[in-house]
Amino acid sequence: MAFFRRKAARKELPPPERRPHHVAIIMDGNGRWAQARGLPRIEGHRQGANSVRTAMETCSELGIRYLTLYCFSNENWKRPKPELEFLMGLLKAYLMQQSETLVTNGIRLQVIGRREGLPPDVLEIMDRAVEISSRGDRFTLCLAINYGSRQEIVDAVRKIAHAACQGDLDAASIDESTVENALYTRGIPDPDLVIRTSGEMRLSNFLLWQISYSELWVTKKPWPEFGREDLIEAVIDFAQRNRRFGGVDTVSQ
């Protein structure tokens, strides 16, 4: 089955140049969605996997080239052991099932986050999926796994400090591009739009450097309920905003 198959309703969409190039999503509310229905929390995670595919399909329809999903933070290790085991198993199964889809549809998979702490079998499958999809040039799916933005910045500082100590980098030459090239997201453009589900009004240690000028869009819907029309609504809202990047709105002057 082809991944890129459905066409969005053009009449309700802004022109392509007004749409985001990169969307990042904080997928929140899986457990609460399940508990509200009298189901185990793991059922919310299972249902949330369906929303991942919907988000990917919708982004491809809209011409959005990058999608970053906050799958598992390094704070999530505090959760109960059975839930953690289920999440790792779900991640493993997803990567195994979707590897062929990635290659067939020209989707490049990237993973950001620390590798330490992830089960070896998950790392093996994750690395394999990244490798076989590396030539994808139609769409990039970036999964933040065992990720924390503060930790990412710490790792970047360590990398830069090491280069300086080795004499490979002049400390006086360090600038924003130096930091950007040391981050996990090197080579990926900063998100234009950040979506958070489940109504929470916080960033939760997600891409703090990269989203300095991103537009934020929050919905009360939990992630398992987030669908195609919700993403389209976010894109339409994004297109109506005036992104000045610290400058002056010359239209209104």
Q: At what angle do helices 120-132 and 81-104 cross, to 10 degrees?
A: 20
Q: Going by C-beta distance under 8 Å and a sequence separation of 6 or more, which residues neighbour residue 249? A: 242
Residue 14 maps to a domain = no
Task: Compute the distance between CA of residue 244 and CA of residue 45 in angstroms, rounded to an integer.
Answer: 37
* 118 Rama class: left (phi>0) / alpha (psi -120 to 50) / beta: beta
Residue labelled with tokens 């290659």:
103
Whether 244 maps to a domain, the answer reads no
Closest CA to 147 of 197, 207, 96: 207
CATH of the domain at 168: 3.40.1180.10
- Among candidate residues 74, 76, 105, 170, the one labeled active-site is 76
Q: Which domain holds residue 216?
A: 21-238
What pLDDT score does 205 carry? 98
Domain count, the chain: 1
Radius of gyration of the chain (CA): 19
Q: Is residue 16 part of a domain?
A: no
Q: What is the pLDDT along the chain (253 residues), one digit of tens a residue?
A: 355 545 555 557 999 999 999 999 999 999 999 999 999 999 999 999 999 999 999 999 999 999 999 999 999 999 999 999 999 999 999 999 999 999 999 999 999 999 999 999 999 999 999 999 999 999 999 999 999 999 999 999 999 999 999 999 999 999 999 999 999 999 999 999 999 999 999 999 999 999 999 999 999 999 999 999 999 999 999 999 987 766 666 555 4
Evaluate whether residue 194 is within a structural domain: yes
Q: Whole-angstrom Cα distance, residue 64 to residue 87? A: 27
Residue 248 located in a structural domain: no
Does 168 participate in catalysis according to the annotation? Answer: no
Tell me, yes or no, if 28 is annotated catalytic.
yes
Asked whether the beta carbons of 30 and 224 are under 8 A apart, the reply is yes
213, two tokens: 């000028």
Instruction: Kindly name the residue from 28, 30, 105, 192 that is annotated as catalytic.
Output: 28
* Structural domain includes residue 98: yes
pLDDT (0 to 100) of residue 6 = 53
Structure tokens at 99: 């590897």
Question: What pLDDT does 242 receive?
Answer: 86
